[in-house]
Amino acid sequence: MLSHRLPLSRSALERHAELRADPTLLEHLLKDPNTLVTVLRGDRVPVVRRRQSPGEVQDGGDGEPRLALLPPEEATRVLRRTDPQSSPIAAFLGRDADRRDHVLLAVPAAATDGGQPPQDTDLPVWTGLREVATGLDDLEIGLAVAATALAQWHASEGWCPACGGRSKIEQSGWTRRCTACGRDRYPRTDPAVIMTVLDERDRLLMGRQGSWAPGRYSLLAGFTEPGECLEDTVRREVHEEAGVRVGRVEYCASQPWPFPRSLMIGFRAWATSTEIRVDGEELHHADWWSRETLGADLRSGRLVLPPRLSIANALIGEWFGEPLPTAVR
Ligand SMILES: [Zn+2]
């Protein structure tokens, strides 16, 4: 299954949603020295470098990034150092294979705008999830993706959309309840489709936006509109952006994309027309690639594909059928 090989989909975290209703869960876990805390600042995840054995030391000794998971007392100490004025939100993230409980403490982005935290050597470095994701292991990625998505939802949901009242956290961080009217709000994710569109000669459709770096192309993609099924989103987006008609649509794989709250849902789709007419707004150019032309364009450096972190890269690779070639300089 392609989903479990996608960089942001390979979570090894068990969420244990059945434990969230216990109103004392977070208080109890934050007093337990065996709990591991993920401390987020805005959308930045805490990273330390993986220690290497002496034989492996290279490039000054920096190993792969590792998500910094701290005991509650140390997490609180770190937050007092970095964001002394803030009151972090807490959430129960789940349990790992060794039955250790994981908790999120997140400081909203607004509280971190005052500048960089002190860069003592014993503090983690806060960095964007995209920069480190492919180096994190399956537990770390499950924690980092859930933490990033949940923290950003909380940051945007302080007030009730029904009555304007203040909302407070319930269900161990997975619900916000309005203190005035009692209405509950749940974390949301926005579905977006992305598709390998193939013609009758098995050629692949890709397009580029005007703002992208020269040579950069990707699969067509777009958000699902209210009242629309995913298959129709695929057909609508391909026709709107490239003027190509699509018939059969098959699901492939999905990957969370918490920047800030998308779920990328990958499809394979078969075109019933081949003439391209780009909309000039979302797409400035689009074309069809055979496997031969795609391989040649990648080797020559004329074509640049989306990064390995993206589901687009995985879907293109799956169609290509072998590892994607890199540019020969
Ligand atoms: Zn309300």
pLDDT at site 82: 86
For the stretch 245-278, what's the b/e string if a residue is b when 16 or more beta carbons lie within 10 angstroms of its beta carbon? ebeebeebbbbbbbeebbbbbbbbbebeeeebeb
Q: With a cut of 50, say whether residue 58 has pLDDT above it.
A: no
On the question of a common fold for 2-156 and 190-320, the answer reads: yes
Selected residue with higher pLDDT from 43 and 57: 43
- Centroid of ligand 1 to alpha carbon of 162 (angstroms): 5
- How many Cβ atoms sit within 10 Å of the Cβ of residue 15? 16
At 1, the pLDDT band (50, 70, 90 cuts) reads low
Q: With a cut of 60, say whether residue 215 has pLDDT above it.
A: yes
Question: What are the extents of the domains in the chain?
Answer: 2-156, 190-320
- Centroid of ligand 1 to alpha carbon of 163 (angstroms): 4
- CATH code linked to domain 190-320: 3.90.79.10
Mean pLDDT of 232-241: 97
- Into which CATH architecture does domain 2-156 fall? Alpha-Beta Complex (3.90)
What token pair was written down for 135? 């180096």
- Centroid of ligand 1 to alpha carbon of 170 (angstroms): 14
Neighbours of ion ligand 1 (CB under 5 A): 160, 162-163, 165, 178, 180-181, 183
- Centroid of ligand 1 to alpha carbon of 189 (angstroms): 21
Please state the pTM of the whole predicted model. 0.91
- Centroid of ligand 1 to alpha carbon of 125 (angstroms): 38
What string of DSSP letters covers 210-269? Answer: TTSPTTB-B-EEEEPPTT--HHHHHHHHHHHHH---EEEEEEEEEEEETTTTEEEEEEEE
pLDDT in tens, 139-154: 999 999 999 999 999 9
Amino acid present at 263 = L
Given a contact cutoff of 8 angstroms between Cβ atoms, the answer to whether 250 and 180 are in contact is: no
